């Protein structure tokens, strides 16, 4: 007998209405979580002038009510610490605000990164592009065409990375157009999409999008951006199952964040939750030193200690690579865990 499953989750096509209905008020966010009496949390609300608050309701639904230290809340709530200007923390930590072609960053040999859309569904407080001049890097066909011409003229490129902002802020018909253009460039073999949308609004993985990936002649990879096991829910697992069926390779990158995931057991739980959803851990990044995010910093020494313990807690394939980005280097730089070699 067939089971009739009634889902009270939103339909897959309604990601745009969820996007139009994101929370932008710190007061509303705290009210929804029964935290409106916490004066110290409310006191951070002015930081939205530095970088607006933006959190989808589907993500808030995974936060624990009454918990001021909830790891998902910590990633998204404005706090007073953002006003601190710490030495060494800049507004352009990766020196990427002068790209050759607007919105295209070609820093590494075989792969280039296209800033498809400036906006994002969620504003993570540690975002290294929180000061990025997105207004000058508009995602539209005219700018994309300039980038595509560059890509076509550079045969050393075999992979294009869609980034942002968040590239899945583009509509399905825009992504279809971009993918079609890339499929017409013979040396491009792979398309990689870096996005936080599938986790914050799983309905973004529409049937139309999955079907487009499925019939692409490119190999497609999705690199999710997930920092804590509590972010992974049933809707996300279903979205990943659809993409797996479409032949998409599923990876994850995290950022090591004080008060969120700076603990080997928390990272072990994350790796397990990811693998259960069919997603392989790829990178864990040391925080980029962006102004306003110094309170999230975990020192290199602490990062090494956490990663050495993580090695003992999970299978080898579940351990992400600890890395940092250094402006001007020809690749990401792995951090040596300083394990005994003999």
Ligand X SMILES: *Cc1c(COP(=O)(O)O)cnc(C)c1O
- 169-188 positions binding ligand X, by CB under 6 A: none
Binds ligand X (CB under 6 A): choice among 36, 68, 86, 111:
111
Position 286 contacts ligand X (CB under 6 A): no
Minimum distance from CB of 68 to ligand X (Å)? Answer: 33
Contacts with ligand X, 16-45, as mask; x by CB under 6 A: ------------------------------
Minimum distance from CB of 35 to ligand X (Å)? Answer: 35
Position 48 contacts ligand X (CB under 6 A): no
DSSP state of 268: H
Bridge partner list, 285: 255, 323
10 Å CB burial of residue 305 (0-12, 13-18, 19+) is middle
Considering beta carbons, is residue 111 or 154 the nearer one to ligand X? Answer: 111
- The residues, ordered by sequence, that sit 6+ positions from 159 with a Cβ below 8 Å of its Cβ are 110, 111, 112, 188, 189, 190, 191, 192
Position 190 contacts ligand X (CB under 6 A): no
Minimum distance from CB of 303 to ligand X (Å)? Answer: 18
SS3 161: strand
Position 332 contacts ligand X (CB under 6 A): yes
| E strand residue ranges, the chain | 104-105, 111-117, 159-164, 190-195, 219-225, 249-255, 280-285, 321-324, 333-334
Q: Tell me how far apart the terminal alpha carbons of the chain are, to the nearest angstrom.
A: 60
Are 77 and 43 in contact, with CB atoms under 8 Å apart? no
Query: 120 among the known binding-site residues?
Result: yes
What are the contacts of 175-178 at 24+ separation with CB within 8 A?
175/209, 175/212, 176/212, 177/141, 178/116, 178/144
Query: 189 among the known binding-site residues?
Result: no
Are 84 and 135 in contact, with CB atoms under 8 Å apart? no
SS3 337: coil
Position 161 contacts ligand X (CB under 6 A): yes
* Cis preceding linkage at 165, omega within 30: yes
| Size of site (CB under 6 A) for ligand X | 8
Considering beta carbons, is residue 108 or 177 the nearer one to ligand X? Answer: 108
Query: 313 among the known binding-site residues?
Result: no
Q: Which range in 28-36, 37-45, 79-87, 100-108 contacts ligand X by CB under 6 A?
A: 100-108
Considering beta carbons, is residue 264 or 287 the nearer one to ligand X? Answer: 287
Position 134 contacts ligand X (CB under 6 A): no
Position 304 contacts ligand X (CB under 6 A): no
Position 158 contacts ligand X (CB under 6 A): no
Position 150 contacts ligand X (CB under 6 A): no
Are 197 and 16 in contact, with CB atoms under 8 Å apart? no
Position 154 contacts ligand X (CB under 6 A): no
Minimum distance from CB of 286 to ligand X (Å)? Answer: 13
Query: Which residues define the annotated binding site for [4Fe-4S] cluster?
Result: 120, 124, 127
Residues contributing to the site for ligand X (CB under 6 A): 105, 107-108, 111, 113, 161, 331-332
């Amino acid at each position: 007998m067939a089971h009739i499953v009634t889902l009270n989750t939103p339909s897959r096509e309604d990601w745009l209405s969820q996007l139009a209905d994101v929370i932008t008020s710190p007061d509303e966010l705290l009210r929804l979580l029964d935290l409106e009496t916490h004066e110290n949390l409310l006191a951070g609300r002015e930081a939205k002038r530095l970088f607006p608050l933006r959190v989808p309701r589907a993500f808030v639904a995974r936060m624990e009510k009454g918990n001021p230290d909830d790891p998902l809340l910590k990633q998204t709530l404005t706090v007073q610490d953002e006003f601190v200007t710490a030495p060494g923390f800049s507004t352009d930590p990766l020196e990427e605000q002068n790209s050759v072609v607007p919105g295209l960053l070609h820093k590494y040999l075989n792969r280039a990164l296209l800033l498809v859309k400036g906006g994002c569904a969620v504003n993570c407080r540690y975002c290294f592009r929180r000061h990025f001049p997105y207004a000058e890097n508009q995602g539209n066909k005219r700018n994309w065409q300039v980038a595509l011409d560059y890509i076509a003229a550079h045969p050393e490129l075999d992979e294009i990375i869609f980034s942002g902002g968040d590239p899945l802020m583009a509509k399905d018909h825009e992504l279809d157009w971009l993918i079609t253009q890339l499929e017409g460039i013979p040396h491009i073999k792979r398309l990689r999409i870096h996005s936080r949308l599938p986790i914050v609004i799983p309905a973004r993985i529409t049937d139309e999008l999955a079907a487009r990936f499925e019939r692409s002649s490119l190999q497609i990879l999705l690199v999710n951006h997930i920092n804590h096991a509590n972010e992974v829910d049933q809707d996300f697992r279903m979205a990943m199952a659809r993409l797996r069926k479409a032949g998409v390779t599923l990876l994850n990158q995290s950022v090591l964040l004080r008060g969120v995931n700076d603990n080997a057991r928390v990272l072990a739980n994350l790796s397990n939750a990811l693998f259960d959803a069919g997603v392989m851990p790829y990178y864990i990044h040391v925080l980029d030193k962006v102004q306003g995010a110094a309170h999230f910093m975990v020192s290199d020494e602490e990062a090494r200690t956490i990663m050495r313990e993580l090695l003992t807690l999970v299978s080898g394939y579940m351990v992400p690579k600890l890395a940092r980005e250094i402006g001007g280097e020809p690749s990401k730089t792995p951090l040596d865990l300083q394990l005994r070699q003999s």
